[in-house]
Amino acid sequence: MWTSHLVKPDHNIRLMDAKADVPKDYQGAKAEISKRLEGLREDLRGYQELLSAQGKHRLLIILQAMDTGGKDGTIRYVFGGVNPQGVSVTRFGVPSQEELAHDYLWRVHQHTPGKGHVMIFNRSHYEDVVTVGVKKLVPDKVLRQRYQQINDFERMLAEEGVTVLKFFLHISKEEQKRRIQERLKDPKKHWKFTLSDMQSHKRWSVYMKYYEEAISRTSTAWAPWCIVPADKNWYRNLVVAESIVDHLKQFKMRYPKLKLNPNKVSF
Ligand code: AMP
Ligand code: MG
């Protein structure tokens, strides 16, 4: 199912054409999907334990979205049931002075996952081609160089054994407006609101243009993008969870065998 949302390499996507709403076949299926999600969370818990026990594979999950797009909610829901020792989250905000003094991949590379570990990026080096592009912090020529550098960087990670999964949580402009209004209305959500939410809303079409370009240039065989219809949380969670579980399944992991005869262990 999630494969229908994958972006083929060298394919020019248009986010206006990509649906943010639940696809027709799944509309009205919320109750059924919620049950399926519980099963997927259980699968994920088991696979993550195997990944950790085996200590061989590394998984990097990159989440990008417009403000209010649901990155935090996805992490909370999809990974809510796994052993916290095996999964980490790194958020990437406005770069610090020290980060700005380095190349833009410097702060990212040090957080890529080690063996047996899952790392989730809440924002990523894609801010350095999208937000940085929208705000004209570097010339377009530098942006074009960065697409290639990012592809090379991610290929290196893949060749070194890191599985890289990239999700763009795609919400509609109307849904963002609704979510911003909700943040303003609910005192428990005030802390989430910043003026940058409004700026991104006002510059929606410019952000879409930079996202389209970035996703089209960097969806590769070794690190493909999945554009997740994200107006409804349950469908968004389903796509992300199913994709991750299917990738973990493909690892065909086994618990490592004991290297000695258990009968010969004496107390
Ligand atoms: P939040 O995720 O809501 O805490 O917001 C983090 C903010 O940092 C967002 O407005 C991002 O666009 C911004 N940000 C993240 N990375 C960069 C970057 N490399 N350059 C400029 N702004 C960035
Ligand atoms: Mg924010």
Q: How confident is the model at residue 17, as a pLDDT?
A: 82
Q: How confident is the model at residue 63, as a pLDDT?
A: 98
Q: How confident is the model at residue 16, as a pLDDT?
A: 84
| Ligand minimally distant from the alpha carbon of residue 134 | 1
State whether the beta carbon of 92 lies less than 6 angstroms from ligand 1: yes
Query: Per-10-residue mean pLDDT for the chain, 267 residues long?
Result: 93 91 93 95 97 97 98 97 95 98 98 98 98 96 97 98 98 97 96 94 97 98 98 97 98 94 90
Q: How confident is the model at residue 49, as a pLDDT?
A: 97
pTM: predicted TM-score of the whole model, two decimal places: 0.97
Residue type at position 157 = L
Domains annotated for the chain, with CATH where assigned, are 2-253 (3.40.50.300)
Q: With CA atoms as reference, report the closest residue to 23 among 239, 260, 263.
A: 239
Query: By alpha-carbon position, which residue is closest to atom 8 of ligand 1?
Result: 93
DSSP string, 83-121: -GGGEEEEE--SPPHHHHTS-TTHHHHTTS--TT-EEEE
Spacing, Cα 266 to ligand 1 middle (Å): 56
